A and B are shown apart, each in its own frame.
Chain A
Amino acid sequence: MPSGTNKRATGGCEACNEPLLAARGVTRSYRVGGQPLSVLKGVDLELYPHEIVAIVGASGVGKSTLLHILGLLDRPTSGEVRVRGMDAAAMPEHQRSALRNRMIGFVFQFYHLLPDLDAVENVMLPLMVRHGYLGWRHRRGAVRERARELLSLVGLSRREGHRPGQLSGGERQRVAIARALVGDPAVVLCDEPTGNLDTGTKEEIHVLIRDLKERLGQSYVIATHDPHLTTLADRVESMTDGVLAPRPGPVGAER
């Protein structure tokens, strides 16, 4: 284990020593018009329970690419990604999908809700994906209940039946956050969650994320441009030229 690269928040828990997510020597390159384009050039990152890591960096530096790799949506060109110590690269696709469903929640800049589904249905979706037809029949009620709870946790208890098209950007992002949490994942990966929102709404989302982290106990990786968002992070990693380096955050880093 590459010790010393990352400082971590233990939360006073020795069992939490095993990282939830670990990237080691991750590289990713694309081929653009025959020319290789190296985006990630050896990224190391460990994420421990109950912590928020912010990743900052210029646009196009590879933050989204890293989050997709951490979330098992993409495979690194080289290097390894471990989820609770399991090597995800060795897994077949369906197993990676199942692991993603149970372990990881995604929040995107553009919300990415399904426009044909209303708010509750959108929130229920990860559990619909998780369960087969048979398992779903007796779970449906409980899942809907859970989705409602989460919607009220994010402050949208009265918008359950609304389609994404009928919600504002901030509201959509709240639905997306509820969706990321409904499957009770260990990690939530947020890709510029406030990138599309005005200052007031941004602040609300910040408060919400911190709040949810305290209540539900997930770890968060947040890619962002927003310096303000880094204030709620336990640590801040700065990405330059395809590698990560810790940056002492002004607030909260030493918590």
Chain B
Amino acid sequence: MYRLFLSLRYLRTRVVSYLAIGGMALGVMILVIVLSVMGGFQREFRERIRGIDSHLTVESLRFYGLRDAEALCREIEEVPDVVATAPYIENITLVRGVGPGSTKDFGFLRGIDPAREAAVGSFGEFLLSPRERERELLSRQRPPTLDDEEDLARFPAAVDPARAFEGGHTGFPPVLVGIEMFWEFGLEVGGLVRCLTSSDVERMKDSQEETFEVVGVFKTGIWDNDRRYLYAPLDVARRFIVGDTSRSSGVSVRIRDHGRVDEMKGRLNEALGLGLEGRYHLRCYTWKDRKKSLLQAVEMEKWLLSFILIFMVALMALNVLSILIMSVVEKTRDLGILRALGGTSGGVLSIFTAQGHFIGFFGATIGLGMGLAFTRYINEIADGIEALTGYHPFPKKIYYLDRIPTDLDLGEVAICVGVVILIGFLFSVPAAYKAARMDPVDALRYE
């Protein structure tokens, strides 16, 4: 009985034990915040990384692509949980700006039906309205001012993806260009680009050439996409790449639950008989298959961060250890007294392990509460900081995100809290052991 009584009493009457609990709580709070913000970012980045890809694609490996894309689309849409499909054609191309001092580079010309493309992926969100485009270009030249916003007001703020290719003046077929290419090539809306492509490596001499008019700009936030891609209307691109309008490279597929792409890939393979008799040239890919290396990098980042967090946990452990050892040293005489009153060495040991439990338990609980509250109101807190200091800790411009994303994985949090409680338990053992080994006679001999 005295063990519980004394460990609580020691805990309650020592400022250091409050500090230990506070330190523990702070550590847990930071763990929870970091994990949830990291989870949020990861979610956002995965979305980002997907970029212009749809959840799944069914592609043809043939030079000239597949013939009846619409029939395939209908077939795919029969599969349960498929939400939308869109045929596309894509080929590598050389791009050159028309005008003085313009550069050339390679890129990918992708032919799409804009309305259907918007339905299967994020095409609609990536399209910049004239106002967004001008703001973006302006901000690349100098820091924006309030006057700029007034100026920008004359540009339309909205854009309809279905009509993304409309509005040309020159009679050349329209094209949409990624913001990075637009900026580096020094292009302008209404300006021209010339593209060169060939669909057959054996007859590279027989390349096709076409001049396009730039009618709009898009921005995915992924440099590669924004630097390399051009969008043209599906039939324009078909004629340009293969010479007639019957061919497609493949079909983009959107599914109901993006978390189940791998499962859906299996279903599509089975339902369509992909790779089997008559379909041997068709393959199904998930966006993850296509962005494997980027995803691995994100995954790696998470591991690195976890690794760093381990050091923080180690810090907490040392915190517990040092405070309990101090406590043992301070309490040496008390321990001798308890032994004289009939306490066993195991008994005095448990006084200190119990303190470790309490520190771990209260620290973890309080920290969890604070961490959850902080995460819940993290954007309000960021806004508050901006209101106070004029500086926003999470500038929107840098991350292209309006809000700080958070995503709390309860399993991760449970592991964290469990580990912290375990630390309180384990790291009180050396101190308690020291307490138990002490010779009561030595402790009692002097004042």
Question: Contact residues of A with B, CB < 8 Å?
Answer: 64, 68, 71, 73-74, 93-94, 97-98, 100-102, 106, 108-110, 112-117, 125-126, 128-133, 135-136, 179, 183
A117 to B10 Cα, complex, angstroms = 10
- The interface residues of chain B lying within 8 Å CB-to-CB of A106 are 340-341
- The interface residues of chain B lying within 8 Å CB-to-CB of A98 are 342
With A108-B444, A116-B6 given, name 17 new contacts (CB 8 A): A73-B441, A74-B441, A97-B344, A100-B340, A101-B341, A101-B343, A106-B340, A110-B446, A112-B333, A112-B336, A112-B337, A129-B341, A129-B343, A130-B342, A132-B1, A133-B1, A136-B1
Contact flags B148-180 to A (C-beta < 8 A → 1, else 0): 000000000000000000000000000000000
- The interface residues of chain A lying within 8 Å CB-to-CB of B338 are 125, 129
Q: Which 5 A-B pairs have the closest CB atoms?
A: A101-B342, A128-B2, A136-B1, A110-B447, A97-B344
Among residues of B, the one whose C-beta sits closest to the C-beta of A69 is: B441
Q: Are B441 and A125 in contact (CB under 8 A)?
A: no
Within 8 A of A (CB), among B333-389: 333-334, 336-347
Q: Are B337 and A100 in contact (CB under 8 A)?
A: no
Question: Contact residues of B with A, CB < 8 Å?
Answer: 1-2, 4-6, 9-10, 13, 333-334, 336-347, 440-441, 444-447
A179 to B341 Cα, complex, angstroms = 9
A183 to B342 Cα, complex, angstroms = 11
Specify which of B2, B9, B342 is in contact with A97 (CB 8 Å cutoff). Answer: B342
- The interface residues of chain B lying within 8 Å CB-to-CB of A113 are 337
Given A110-B446, A116-B9, A73:B339 Cβ within 8 A: yes
A45 to B170 Cα, complex, angstroms = 122
A34 to B255 Cα, complex, angstroms = 83
A74 to B342 Cα, complex, angstroms = 13
- The interface residues of chain B lying within 8 Å CB-to-CB of A74 are 441
**Minimum distance in angstroms from A54 CB to a CB of chain B:** 21
A74 to B13 Cα, complex, angstroms = 31
25 contacts between A and B (CB under 8 A): A68-B444, A73-B339, A73-B444, A74-B441, A97-B342, A97-B343, A100-B340, A100-B341, A101-B341, A102-B342, A106-B340, A110-B447, A112-B333, A112-B340, A112-B444, A116-B13, A125-B338, A128-B5, A129-B1, A129-B342, A129-B343, A129-B347, A132-B1, A135-B1, A179-B341
Q: Are B440 and A114 in contact (CB under 8 A)?
A: no
Q: Are B346 and A94 in contact (CB under 8 A)?
A: yes
Q: Are B4 and A133 in contact (CB under 8 A)?
A: yes
- The interface residues of chain A lying within 8 Å CB-to-CB of B9 are 116-117
**Minimum distance in angstroms from A88 CB to a CB of chain B:** 13
A131 to B4 Cα, complex, angstroms = 12
Among residues of A, the one whose C-beta sits closest to the C-beta of B336 is: A112
Interface centre among B2, B337, B341 (most CB of A within 10 A): B341
- The interface residues of chain A lying within 8 Å CB-to-CB of B6 are 114, 116
Given A64-B445, A112-B333, A129-B343, A73:B1 Cβ within 8 A: no
Given A126-B342, A136-B1, A116:B10 Cβ within 8 A: yes
- The interface residues of chain A lying within 8 Å CB-to-CB of B444 are 68, 73, 108, 112
A98 to B2 Cα, complex, angstroms = 14
A179 to B446 Cα, complex, angstroms = 19
A104 to B345 Cα, complex, angstroms = 18
Among residues of A, the one whose C-beta sits closest to the C-beta of B339 is: A73
Q: Are A73 and B440 in contact (CB under 8 A)?
A: yes
Among residues of A, the one whose C-beta sits closest to the C-beta of B341 is: A126
Among residues of B, the one whose C-beta sits closest to the C-beta of A176 is: B337
Among residues of B, the one whose C-beta sits closest to the C-beta of A140 is: B1
- The interface residues of chain A lying within 8 Å CB-to-CB of B347 are 97, 129
Q: Are B340 and A71 in contact (CB under 8 A)?
A: yes
**Minimum distance in angstroms from A90 CB to a CB of chain B:** 17
- The interface residues of chain B lying within 8 Å CB-to-CB of A68 are 441, 444
Q: Are A125 and B2 in contact (CB under 8 A)?
A: yes
Q: Are A114 and B1 in contact (CB under 8 A)?
A: no
- The interface residues of chain B lying within 8 Å CB-to-CB of A71 are 340
A77 to B447 Cα, complex, angstroms = 26
Given A112-B333, A116-B13, A129-B347, A97:B1 Cβ within 8 A: no
A135 to B336 Cα, complex, angstroms = 24
**Minimum distance in angstroms from B158 CB to a CB of chain A:** 71
Q: Are B446 and A114 in contact (CB under 8 A)?
A: no
**Minimum distance in angstroms from A94 CB to a CB of chain B:** 5
Q: Are B337 and A131 in contact (CB under 8 A)?
A: no
A162 to B2 Cα, complex, angstroms = 19
Among residues of B, the one whose C-beta sits closest to the C-beta of A92 is: B344
